[in-house]
Amino acid sequence: MVLIKEQIKKIDKSIVEEVVEDELLERFKSCYQCGTCTGGCPSGRRAAIRTRDVIRQALVGLDDDLLSSDLLWLCSTCYTCYERCPRDVPTTDIIIKLRNIASHRGLMKGPHLAVSKMLIETGHGVPINDEKWSNLRKSLKLTPLPPTVHSFPEAVKEVQTIIKELKFDELIAYGEEVKKKLAEEEKKRAPERIEELEAELKQLKEEAGK
């Protein structure tokens, strides 16, 4: 990433201090940009996230660009980068902290808003809503539904109480606001998504032709 003049103007060091407020994340500043994290990132093989770049953008204080981009949300929180970092930088936890900061600034991305909405309504971010998953569980000699709110639907109310206590519903502006934001994002992303799908299809065809 080349730091051009326009980007330099946007530099704001406050985000670094906000991240290291959490003493478990103090090693954030020890990153020496070796790129080992990027090299092992499974999400980076399929998507635009480059872990080293995310850490660098955050370290130099380019928070407006970083917090509003899709990059932060492409991490699957697998912790490979953290395990491999020679400087013991808690990369994954830093990404989670940056997502938290982005969420508090109203910048959570559409798919994450949708999962949050699902969590509030069903008690599961990814509920079992298809018979094939229950059948798969049965084939593994498990109960058709896990011992969660799926088996104890009355517990959904408890989940919703905790969410209210923590003000998570307010954080994502649960309700009409979320619906509006999701619809807007969907509209904005439609052409972009078609391009992504076309690129994926092309890649799959190339791989199949090899």
Which residue, 41, 29, 49, is CA-closest to 89? 29
Read off the amino acid at residue 156. Answer: V
The least distance separating ligand SF4 from the CB of residue 73, rounded to whole angstroms, comes to 10
The least distance separating ligand SF4 from the CB of residue 81, rounded to whole angstroms, comes to 3
User: Closer to ligand SF4 at the Cβ: 79 or 152?
Assistant: 79
d(CA 38, CA 1): 14
Quote the distance between the C-alpha of residue 180 and its chain's center: 20
User: Closer to ligand SF4 at the Cβ: 27 or 189?
Assistant: 27
d(CA 15, CA 174): 26
| Radius of gyration over every alpha carbon of the chain, rounded to an integer in angstroms | 20
Looking at residue 106, the DSSP 8-state letter turns out to be: T
User: Closer to ligand SF4 at the Cβ: 30 or 203?
Assistant: 30
User: Closer to ligand SF4 at the Cβ: 75 or 149?
Assistant: 75
In this structure, what token pair is assigned to residue 57? 């953008």
User: Closer to ligand SF4 at the Cβ: 82 or 174?
Assistant: 82
- Residues in contact with ligand SF4 by CB under 6 A are 31-37, 40-44, 51-52, 55, 75-81, 85, 87, 89, 91-92, 95
User: Closer to ligand SF4 at the Cβ: 57 or 92?
Assistant: 92
Helix (H, G, I), strand (E, B) or coil at 84: helix
d(CA 7, CA 16): 16
Q: How many CB atoms lie within 10 A of CB 78?
A: 13
The least distance separating ligand SF4 from the CB of residue 128, rounded to whole angstroms, comes to 24
Which residue, 72, 107, 104, is CA-closest to 168? 104
The least distance separating ligand SF4 from the CB of residue 119, rounded to whole angstroms, comes to 21
d(CA 70, CA 49): 8
The least distance separating ligand SF4 from the CB of residue 134, rounded to whole angstroms, comes to 29
The least distance separating ligand SF4 from the CB of residue 137, rounded to whole angstroms, comes to 27
